[in-house]
Amino acid sequence: MEVFEIVDEITPATVADSLKALDEAVDGNEITIRLPYNGGGSVEAAIWLIEAIKETKASVIVEVDRYVISAAAFIFFWFCIYPEAHVEAKTTGQPAILVYHRPRMIIEDHLAFLNDLNEQAEEWEALKEFTEIFDKLFEYLIAACGYTAANENIYEYNHCELKHQLRHVRDGYYSNQDFVMPA
């Protein structure tokens, strides 16, 4: 069994060895992609890794440990929401916290989400594509947590309007806040 630990960050360089192994794998190979203490990184590299995992002939374990943020959480959640017969998404057995948020870019030392840009920005198309992918996965993820149309309703209580806790989660995500979940 081959084990690839992608610690700290998802980048083209940190996923390169695992991409090669996944591409060269044959039936019967077992590959573990471990994402411990991972702060995220490149959405593009995360998508490359997801595609390679989906297309490989190997049996794959995507394993998380401690904290897994952004692009790394995206990889893990992908295989939780879109299961593949040859892929298992799990923890190492240690507690893990996953932090998921909409894609963003650093532009001249400023944090930019899609709604901060306009269509003339050179980063617009890539960020729009990534945001649509993340948003779709988030909608399935929150539905798996129990979010339904009924959660959209406002609850009238003592002259106050209250929201369901999952509606707060959803509103926060679409306001570019983090969605934090234990694994």
Q: What pLDDT, in 10s, does the model give residues 164-173?
A: 899 999 999 9
Question: Which pLDDT score, from 0 to 100, does residue 137 have?
Answer: 98
Q: CA-CA distance, 114 to 102, in Å (whole number)?
A: 9
Q: Tens digits of per-residue pLDDT, 23-77?
A: 999 999 999 999 999 999 999 999 999 999 999 999 999 999 999 999 999 999 9
Q: Tell whether the model's pLDDT for residue 138 goes beyond 90.
A: yes
Task: Extract the tokens encoding 173.
Answer: 């995500």
Res. 155: pLDDT tops 90: no
- Which residue, of 80, 99, 118, is where some domain finishes? 99
Residue 72 lies in a domain: yes
Give a yes or no: residue 183 inside a domain: no
Domain-ending residue, one of 68, 99, 130: 99
Q: Please tell me whether residues 105 and 35 are part of one structural domain.
A: no
CA R_g for the chain? 18
**How confident is the prediction for the chain on average, in pLDDT?**
96
Cα atoms found within 13 Å of the Cα of residue 66, Cβ hemisphere only: 8
- Is residue 136 scored above 90 in pLDDT? yes
Domain-located, residue 88 = yes
- What b/e readout covers 150-163, taking b as 16+ CB neighbours within 10 angstroms? ebeeeeeeeeeeee
Same domain, 83 and 121: no
* 85: CATH: 3.90.226.10
5 and 94 part of one domain:
yes
Model pTM score: 0.94
Same domain for 82 and 21, yes or no, is yes
Q: How far apart are CA 126 and CA 114, in angstroms?
A: 9
- State how many domains the chain has: 2
Q: Domain check: are 11 and 76 in the same one?
A: yes
Q: Is the pLDDT of residue 161 over 90?
A: no
Question: What is the reported pLDDT for 183?
Answer: 86
| Pair (30, 73) in one structural domain | yes
Tell me, yes or no, whether 163 and 149 share the same domain: yes
Q: Does residue 18 belong to any structural domain of this protein? A: yes
**What six digits make up the tokens of 88?**
């298992």
pLDDT (0 to 100) of residue 167: 93
Q: Which element (helix H / strand E) includes 8? A: strand 8-10
Residue 165 lies in a domain: yes
* 152 contacts 167 by C-beta, under 8 angstroms: yes
In a shared domain, residues 86 and 170: no
Final residue in a domain of this structure, among 71, 99, 127 = 99
pLDDT score, position 152: 86
Residue 93 and residue 4 share a domain: yes
Q: How confident is the model at residue 85 (pLDDT cuts 50, 70, 90)?
A: very high
Range of the domain at 173: 101-178
